[in-house]
Amino acid sequence: MNFLLVSDIHGCLPALERVLDFYERGSYDMLFILGDILNYGPRNRIPEGIDPKGIVERLNAMKDQIVAVRGNCDAEVDQMLLQFPIMADYALVVEGGRRFFLTHGHVYNEDNAPVMKNDVFVYGHTHLWKLEPTDDNRIVCNLGSITFPKGGNVPTFATYEDGVMAVRTMDGEVLKEVKL
């Protein structure tokens, strides 16, 4: 199976549309959303193109393809609108014998790693993309943000295709990839 992974949408429909266009053009089986879906949070500016209702409509139409976890800006009221679960702090997805630990990053992160064994630790929250192998033969991937990238980075998301994890720009350009 091939996955597209995104985090920190923060209510920006135009950014999400670009990612979903890439998803639909590609050969992706599932969309993993790692939190902060509808709300922009008190520390961020109001994003250009904010449209939480539009995001709800768009994502609910593909609810059977989504695995999502809760971000620090997600609330129970968001779950009332979305027709797929978003309130778990993490999800564990197993594909081809590889365990993907998916989380937002505000509970579990590199400083507070999960005790559950995993091969690929994927998070967001910091809005700083990262894709690195670890000393213990795992992969750590921070998806960055499609709406509010930090550290001078461009907006990013990630893909997993045929055993290769890649961080990509909004145009699909590969910034870095790691074979699992």
Neighbours of 136 (CB within 10 A): 5
- As a whole number, mean pLDDT of residues 128-152 equals 96
* Long-range contacts at 21-29 (CB < 8 A, ≥ 24 apart): 22/157, 22/168, 22/172, 26/2, 26/159, 26/161, 27/2, 27/161, 28/2, 28/3, 28/4, 28/159, 29/1, 29/2, 29/3, 29/65
Average pLDDT, the chain: 96
For tokens 């778990």, the residue is 88
* pLDDT > 80? residue 35: yes
In the chain the domains, ranked by start, together with CATH numbers, are 3-179 (3.60.21.10)
What pLDDT, in 10s, does the model give residues 37-95? Answer: 999 877 777 878 999 999 999 999 999 999 999 999 999 999 999 999 999 999 999 99
What pLDDT, in 10s, does the model give residues 86-127? Answer: 999 999 999 999 999 999 999 999 999 999 999 999 999 999
pLDDT for 43 equals 79
* pLDDT > 80? residue 167: yes
Report pTM.
0.96
Q: Specify whether the CB–CB gap between 71 and 37 falls below 8 A.
A: yes
